[in-house]
Amino acid sequence: MPVVTQHAPGTPSYIDLSTTDPRAAQAFYAELFGWEYDEEPTDTGTTYITARLDGKTAAGMMEQPADMREMGMPPCWNSYVTVDDAEDAAKRAEAAGGSVLQPAFDVMDGGRMAVLADPTGGVVCVWEPKAGIGAELINEPGTLCWNELMTADLGAANAFYRQVFGWQAEDLPTEDAAYTIYLLDGQPVGGAMNPPTEGIPSHWGIYISVEHTDAVVDKARSLGAQVVAEPMDTPPGRMASLVDPQGAAFSVIEADADFDPMA
């Protein structure tokens, strides 16, 4: 079992869900992935929910802020990348043509984070670990195994992430369209591609590893999820795209035996 004790700087290391109904979301993902939860009050008077699998941190959840709901923003999964210094990462993001949506701040004793946007509009969080490293379990059924950027301008995105995180972009031609793999020290850490249709805004998506994609999709549908892309075979494995009952998009993948997505 790939238990993680630390994440190297520049590595995607955590995901959390901003949702309109945390209780309903907890029930949904517990049924789907077997997650159990701890709840902890925050300094801002809200509650942060940590999702665990086999006692290890897998993800997090929180109630979507009221101002985001008022702006019509849907619930979403957030991707985090570990950095040595959240403030320095924010400065690099601005120098690379991105923007800082939320400057670096302390998250109790867990660490420091900031929220950044790349020049194409993709939003990513950075995490400077202290007591909390992020996910303690990856690449196992029910845990994070891949992060993927959807953007209309791969060139601008690739340049940004190279400058901010040191990622190198490698293009992989596919039957339908080019796919970009992001590498850190030669190891894959994420991917990027153009939207399949016009009008889809830039965004980071998440993939959760599962044992049997079709069974998970059937279960999710029975729990009220929307199936956006039915199970399909791809080079890395059998995948599907879903939207949970509150409106947050995510994907699942039953990876092929020789695919090690976040080595």
DSSP per residue, the chain: --B-S---TTSEEEEEEEES-HHHHHHHHHHHH--EEEEEE-TTS-EEEEEEETTEEEEEEEEPPHHHHHTTPPPEEEEEEE-S-HHHHHHHHHHTT-EEEEEEEEETTTEEEEEEE-TTS-EEEEEEESS--S-SB-SSTTSEEEEEEE-S-HHHHHHHHHHHH-PEEEEEE-SSSEEEEEEETTEEEEEEE--SSTTPPPEEEEEEE-S-HHHHHHHHHHTT-EEEEEEEEETTEEEEEEE-TTS-EEEEEEE-TT--TT-
Tell me, what's the pLDDT at 235?
A: 85
Length of the chain: 263
**pLDDT tens-digit series, residues 213-251:** 999 999 999 999 999 999 999 888 999 999 999 999 999
CATH number reported for the structural domain that contains residue 69 in this entry: 3.10.180.10
Asked whether residue 1 carries a pLDDT value surpassing 70, the answer given is: no
Map tokens 């303690």 to a residue.
136
- What is the pTM for the complete model shown? 0.95
User: Which domain range does residue 198 map to?
Assistant: 1-263
The total number of structural domains in the chain stands at 1
Asked whether residue 259 carries a pLDDT value surpassing 70, the answer given is: no
Map tokens 């992001």 to a residue.
182
pLDDT higher at 158 or 197: 158
Tell me, what's the pLDDT at 43?
A: 79
Give helix 22-33 / helix 213-222 axis angle, nearest 10°. Answer: 150
Distances (CA, A) of 34 to 111, 173, 238: 27, 36, 20
